[in-house]
Amino acid sequence: MTATAEAGGADGRPAPGPRRRAAALLHRRPRLRLSLLLTAPLAWLVVVYLGALAAIFLTAFWSTDVFTGEVVRQFTLANFQTLVDEPVYRTVALRSLGVAVAVTVIDTAIGFPMALYMAKVAKPKYRPYLMIAILAPLWAAYLVKAYAWRVMLSQGGLLDEVLKPFGLSSPGYGLPATVLVLSYLWLPYMILPVYTGLERLPDSLLDASGDLGARPVRTFRSVVLPLVYPSLVAGSIFTFSLSLGDYITVKIVGGRSQLLGNVVYDNIGAANNLPFAAAVATIPVVVMLGYLAAARRTGALREL
Amino acid sequence: MFSVMPASAVRIRDLRKTFGSVEAVAGVDLDIGDGEFFSMLGPSGSGKTTVLRLIAGFERPTGGTIELGGRDVTGLAPFDRDVNTVFQDYALFPHLDVLRNVEYGLKVRRVPKGKRRERALAALHSVRLDGMEARRPGELSGGQRQRVALARALVNEPKVLLLDEPLGALDLKLREEMQVELKSIQRRAGITFVFVTHDQEEALTLSDRVAVLDRGRIQQVGTPAEVYERPATEFVAGFVGTSNRIGDVCVRPEKIHVHTEGGPQGGQGGGEGLTGTGDREALGTVAEVVYAGAVTRFVIDLESGDRVVALQQNLRTSSMDVLGHRGARVRISWHETHEFHVSGTGPAPAPAS
């Protein structure tokens, strides 16, 4: 007792040090704890992420001085007026939308059966290897993959060789090639969420449906699809938004076709018209907001 | 004993199922009568659930045949079999409300809408879930989900209802209630129930007949009384209740009277020193006394070296009285009609039915 008495308080325990006192304070004040924990990430989100978006949106209402090339910080709707008046921009916007929709449809059609096979048919011990096979392309650089496709799609390239026996040829460079390569690039982003959704679906539900008299097609329509629907929406948000913003693939395999991303890129670079680039960049943002709102209405976002 | 056994609802011959190198079901023969409440009892890994899944059609047997109502269904898919299953985890469809869950089987079989609704509501009424039609499974308690699962299966009026440990996830009180309810539903509906459980008390309480399984084989089939009073193998004796080996015979704990110095401990049968014909007795020391409310459990080391467990009703005793007996010398007695012999270790394949 004498040994501990020197360091001890009234109850014989050692007096708490400053770190202990701070920990105790945080324990008593959950709100303080929460604010300390969230301040840094929230600051990042607000300043860097939302701030950048706000800056783009604001810039879109400015203009460029024709002679000096300087940005004129004065409110004007001229950029948006151009977007509406010039038919070429409407064409580019609709083309981008079409590409994004096509990529999403193709990835759903290919990705769903693959995810289904991985989650419900393949033996569990093979699943990690299948998962690696799906993820492996993500480890290669984007440009490498796009250029690999450029080589394959070229005249007399691999695709021509493979398709020749069937009397077909490579689609060459253009929009179909762009859709093809984008579908390839974003496929893992569709498979992963759908796989997760299917894996969470208990096998007993499938057994129960069969037990109650449903054939496989009926089970798929009435049980699997409604329960995996949120995951499909999640995957489609990836494939859709990634395709909508892409400008590199189309530059490499798209021939002369232009998408929204190219218009933005050219206006930042060659044309040096930052405000107009910002105005064009708001189009995919608005489209995505509309897409998310539609997804929300179906209740799919609640379960993400 | 098997008084009413007309056509068999389920007839299984030499059923086998192997998973890789594991033989989950190793040659099972069974005849389950029409309208019977039949239980398959065994520890986990005994193959009881696999047999059930084979009857339902979720698994393909490696060998053997399954007949339902005289028709060979061995190669048929689940949706072509006239059985329904109540799953251990209930397997309710989370995206459908209670009514749509119950209607599912009827809808798939294209029963007209009006008729469908009527039957579903009647099924929900029979499991006392009126007014719950619009709830989602996630909004129900465990007991309620269990009833929805039951209604969803019963509404299809199957010839055989398969139940895979349906009460396992419920707490004791609810389980006892549901046991009574299951029994009365089975009696009213006249459907054959095949019930899988690892709870021997549940099997004995509910069943007309019980099959005890171990390592993919049936050890014994019989009425609860037969299985309990005359276990065919050592495994059955040990798994269905506790058995005491005294010399070369076995006696159940509740059949043993403990005579302490102060008089018979709740044993109202044979009085002190009374040894009629067929009475057996032995001397020993109380190693442990456990007071368990309704009964007291004595663990007694006999002079012969055997250790026995004896259960005594706490008719006039309380915890104060019994705990003092630890270490006391006692005399135990039992009647020879309560002795049974088990055939060593050999898991002799019991004859079917």
B95: nearest CB among A209, A211, A227: A227
A203 CB neighbour count, 10 Å cutoff:
11
Q: Give pLDDT, residue A1.
A: 45
- Rounded distance between C-alpha atoms, residue B116 and residue B148, angstroms: 16
> Looking at this protein, which amino acid is placed at residue B43?
P
CA-nearest residue to A215 within chain B is B79
B352 in a structural domain: no
Whether chain B has a CB inside 8 Å of the CB on A124: the answer is no
| Ordered DSSP codes for A181-209 | HHHHHHHHHHHHHHHHHHHHS-HHHHHHH
Whether residue B250 sits in one domain with residue B195: no
Range with lowest mean pLDDT among A11-20, A251-260, B95-104, B238-247: A11-20
User: B238, B271, B286 — which closes off a domain?
Assistant: B238
**Structure confidence by residue, pLDDT tens digits, A97-122:** 999 999 999 999 999 999 999 998 89
Does B108 sit within 8 Å of A212, measured CB to CB?
yes
Query: For the residues A13-27, what does the mean pLDDT come to?
Result: 84
Tokens of A45: 């989100």
Give the distance, in angstroms, between the CA of residue A16 and the centroid of all CA atoms in the same chain.
Answer: 49
What domains are there in chain A, each with its CATH number?
18-71 (no CATH), 79-303 (1.10.3720.10)
Q: Is B260 found in the same domain as B116?
A: no
Contact B89 A202 (CB under 8 A): yes
Let me know whether B163 and B278 are in one domain. no
| Best CA proximity match to B221, nearest among B30, B64, B13, B84 | B30
Non-local CB neighbours of B91 within 8 Å, separated by 6+ positions:
A202, A204, A205, A207, A208, B149
Residue B344 falls inside a structural domain: no
In a domain, B295, yes or no: yes
pLDDT tens digits along B140-154:
998 899 999 999 999
B230 and B266: one domain? no
Q: Give the whole-angstrom CA distance, residue A109 versus residue B328.
A: 78
- Tell me the HSE value of B75 on the side-chain side, using a 13 A CA sphere: 0
- Positive or negative torsion for Cα B79, B80, B84, B89: negative
Is B46 near chain A, with CB under 8 Å?
no
Tokens of A35: 């604010």
Cβ pair A175, A95 in contact under 8 A: yes
Residue B45 CA to residue B214 CA, distance in Å, equals 8
Q: Are residues B110 and B225 in the same domain?
A: yes
User: Could you tell me how many CB contacts below 8 A there are between chain A and chain B?
Assistant: 59
Within this chain, do residues B251 and B231 fall inside the same structural domain, yes or no? Answer: no
In degrees and rounded to multiples of 5, residue B26 shows phi and psi of -120, 60
**Residue B62 Cα to chain centre, angstroms:** 26
- The alpha-carbon gap from A2 to the nearest alpha carbon of chain B, in Å, equals 44
Q: Which residue has the tokens 């008729």?
A: B115
Tell me what pLDDT residue B7 has.
66
Q: Would B3 be classed as within a structural domain?
A: no
- Separation CA B267–CA B214 (nearest Å): 35
Q: What ipTM was estimated for this complex? A: 0.80
Per-residue confidence band for A133, with pLDDT thresholds at 50, 70 and 90: very high
Distance CA(B229)–CA(B252), nearest Å, equals: 8
- SS3 at position A32: helix
Partner residue facing A218 (CB), from B91, B108, B152: B108
Round to whole Å and give the CA distance between B108 and A89: 50
Could you tell me the sign of the dihedral formed by the alpha carbons of A259, A263, A269, A271, in that order?
positive
- pLDDT over 80 at A85, yes or no: yes
In a domain, B345, yes or no: no
Give pLDDT, residue A130.
93
Structural domain span for residue B303: 243-338
Asked if B77 has any chain A CB less than 8 Å from its own CB, the reply is yes
Residues in A closer than 8 angstroms to B108, CB to CB, are: 212-214, 218, 222
Question: Which pLDDT tens digit goes with each residue over B69-124?
Answer: 889 999 999 999 999 999 999 999 999 999 999 999 999 999 999 999 999 999 99
Among the three residues B206, B221, B238, which one is the final residue of a domain in this structure?
Answer: B238
Q: Which residues contact A150 (CB under 8 A, 6 or more apart)?
A: A173, A252, A253
Write the DSSP assignment of B256-299 as a string of letters.
-EEEETTEESS--SS-TT---TTEEEEEEEEEEEEEETTEEEEE
Residues B234 and B261 in one domain: no
CB-based contact (8 Å) between A125 and chain B? no
Q: How far is A237 from chain B (nearest CA, A)?
A: 22
Cα distance between residue B307 and residue B181, in whole Å: 39
Contacts of B16 by beta carbon, 8 Å cutoff, 6+ apart: B23, B25, B26, B27, B28, B61, B62, B63, B64
Shared domain check, B234 and B247: no
We report the CATH number of the domain holding residue B328 as 2.40.50.140
Inter-residue contact B317 to B266 (CB < 8 Å) = yes
B63-68 and B160-164 strand pairing: unpaired
**DSSP symbols for B119-184:** HHHHHHHHTT-TT-TT--GGGS-HHHHHHHHHHHHHTT--SEEEEESTTTTS-HHHHHHHHHHHHH
How does the average pLDDT of chain B come out, rounded? 86
B247: left (phi over 0), alpha (psi -120 to 50) or beta: left
Q: The CATH number of the domain where B217 resides is what? A: 3.40.50.300
- Determine the Cα–Cα distance for residues B62 and A282; give it in Å rounded to an integer: 62
Q: Is residue B343 part of a domain?
A: no
Show residues of chain A in contact with B85, CB under 8 Å.
207-208, 211
Q: Does A225 touch chain B (CB under 8 A)?
A: no
**Which of A213, A223, A226 is closest, CB to CB, to B105?**
A213
Count of structural domains, chain B: 2
**Residues 157..196 of A with a Cβ closer than 8 Å to B: which?**
none
pLDDT value for B344 = 55
pLDDT above 90 as % of chain A: 38
Clarify whether residues B120 and B269 are in a common domain: no
Coil, helix or strand at residue B312: strand
**Same domain assignment for residues B191 and B326:** no
By the 8 A CB rule, do B296 and B253 touch? no
Nearest chain A residue (CA) to B56: A211
Could you tell me if residue B44 is inside a domain?
Answer: yes
Domain termination site, one of B238, B273, B300: B238
Whether B150 and B174 map to the same domain: the answer is yes
Task: Determine, yes or no, domain membership for B90.
Answer: yes
Confirm or reject contact between A208 and chain B (CB < 8 A): yes
Distance CA B318, CA B321 (A): 6
| Cβ of residue B19 closer than 8 Å to a chain A Cβ | no
pLDDT tens-place string over residues A217-262? 999 999 999 999 989 998 999 999 999 989 899 999 988 888 888 8
Phi then psi dihedrals of residue A270, to 5 deg: -55, -50
* Model confidence pLDDT, tens digit, residues A166-193: 888 788 888 999 999 999 999 999 999 9
What's the pLDDT score for residue B353? Answer: 42
- What the block records as the tokens of B66 is 């399954």
Percentage of chain A lying above the pLDDT 70 cut? 94
Q: Are residues B65 and B153 in the same domain?
A: yes
Higher pLDDT pick, B210 / A52: B210
Query: Which residue reads 């549901």 in tokens?
Result: B178
**Cβ atoms < 10 Å from Cβ of B54:** 24
